[in-house]
Amino acid sequence: MTEAKPTTPADDPGPSVASLETIVSLSKRRGFIFPSSEIYGGINAVWDYGPLGVELKNNVKRAWWRAMVQERDDIVGLDAGIIMAPQVWVTSGHVANFSDPLVECSTCRRRFRLDELPGCENLTTTELRDPTIVERLGLKCPVDAGPLSAPRQFNLMFKTHMGPVEEDGNEVYLRPETAQGIYVNFRNVRETSRKKLPFGIAQIGKAFRNEISPGNFVFRMREFEQMEMQYFVKPATAAETFEYWMPRRRAWYERYGVTPERLRFREHRPDELAHYAKKAVDVEYRFPFGWKELEGIHNRGDWDLGRHQQATGESLEYFDPATEEKYVPWIVETSAGGDRAAFTFLIDAYREEEVRGEKRVVLGFNAELAPYKVAVLPLLKKRDEIVEKCHALRDDLAKDIMAVYDDTAAIGKLYRRQDEIGTPWCVCIDVDSLEDGKATIRDRDTMEQIRVDLSQVKPIVMERLAKARG
């Protein structure tokens, strides 16, 4: 894979936005994302989606579902519980292995992930588990240069209790990945959907990880959403299935507007593979804080079904009617983050430009992802007939798409506000509209305006939207 090599400054396209603060501030100001429980001072690594953010994230999830379930004859959906039988996580290897190496500063008490300390990014798994590593490398606290403890493995799973009594016997976990809900339902889904291999099961849902060092806004959170698809195949075909999914998953981000130069593949070194993976390739994005994982594609072999079969004594084998063979299917997984994808689309859509000597901020979302598809704006809010026509048009549009009415500023400012939240089309109704029954449609990107019959506004918007969907 040519793109796995480190990027040099010459071929690094740079981020879409110079600083992360620009996105954080826009998100707060315009109602995309807020700190959770803010009036209580917030809670670290949990974020809430505001009126625009929830629309964006829902649109991202819908676009993923369309590509991964609706448009495919070989993939079906599932919505499994967040809490599962605790034994699932023992079998899956998460209780024993789903941990990060933690070191603690004995003066400031801050805790760090060892592999995120300066100079430790490329340590092998064996080195990260070596109790002498801190001493050998002379590592110090990056904040106050205090002494650091030897690394200990910190399990990332959140625990809680099931039922009215808190005792050891009823501890359960909040799932750290949605995938296991798919594996334990493999037989139920295959039998009821009567699917033959190869076929996939897709799921979107919350996952929880008690990350040691969350951060970079919604990039790494403790509560987040995953969009995962598990593709069950004959073992001999897993490698080619992996190659099949890689370009398709990258293309999905491009289809919805991510700049191709800001995407790349990176293959995991053997010593950084997760406990279940035979091979892993990340789709990475050039975030303002560097190239980082956006989605993981994993060849999980028969690790999951094999172990669940062994632990439960329930057969998870597949009988292939064509060859009359019986085998435990191998799994190729595509695992994306709902929040990370929405964050990426938001960052990549951001642009600033100068229009007639003034700065114009635009979120150039693909129309499918834009929170509002259309804004209906009166030129004069004091003219009741204009306002009435605006509301009638908005109500009609809102039967099919997200449409908003706004009259809280002059028209120029209203346009700029809609540009800044990524609304692809604005419709303005003015005094002439009362005479000629026409309205103006303004395009967010070109700022071109066309005058059309009011009755044509909805068909035109719907046609443009269908085109954006591709």
Should residue 224 be labelled a site residue for ligand GAP when binding is judged by CB under 6 A? yes
Should residue 100 be labelled a site residue for ligand GAP when binding is judged by CB under 6 A? no
- Beta carbon of residue 160, minimum distance to ligand GAP (angstroms, whole number): 18
Should residue 430 be labelled a site residue for ligand GAP when binding is judged by CB under 6 A? no
- Beta carbon of residue 456, minimum distance to ligand GAP (angstroms, whole number): 41
Should residue 64 be labelled a site residue for ligand GAP when binding is judged by CB under 6 A? no
Q: Residue 185 is which amino acid?
A: N
Interface pattern 249-288 for ligand GAP (x via CB under 6 A): ----------------------------------------
Helix axes 20-30, 338-349, angle to 10 degrees: 100
Interface pattern 160-199 for ligand GAP (x via CB under 6 A): -----------------x-x--------------------
Q: Name which of residues 316 to 335 contact ligand GAP (CB under 6 A).
A: 333, 335
Residue with smaller CB distance to ligand GAP, 198 or 337: 337
Piece of the chain touching ligand GAP by CB under 6 A; list 127-135, 187-195, 337-345, 416-424: 337-345
Site size for ligand GAP (CB under 6 A)? 19
Residue with smaller CB distance to ligand GAP, 217 or 318: 217
- Beta carbon of residue 306, minimum distance to ligand GAP (angstroms, whole number): 16
Task: Tokens 């079906």: give the residue.
Answer: 76
Should residue 228 be labelled a site residue for ligand GAP when binding is judged by CB under 6 A? yes
- Beta carbon of residue 324, minimum distance to ligand GAP (angstroms, whole number): 32
Alpha-carbon span 267 to 396, nearest angstrom: 49
Should residue 293 be labelled a site residue for ligand GAP when binding is judged by CB under 6 A? yes
Interface pattern 349-388 for ligand GAP (x via CB under 6 A): ----------------------------------------
Residue with smaller CB distance to ligand GAP, 197 or 336: 336
Residue with smaller CB distance to ligand GAP, 200 or 378: 200
Should residue 339 be labelled a site residue for ligand GAP when binding is judged by CB under 6 A? yes
Where along the sequence are the contacts to ligand GAP (CB under 6 A)? 177, 179, 209, 211, 220-221, 224, 226, 228, 293-296, 333, 335-337, 339-340
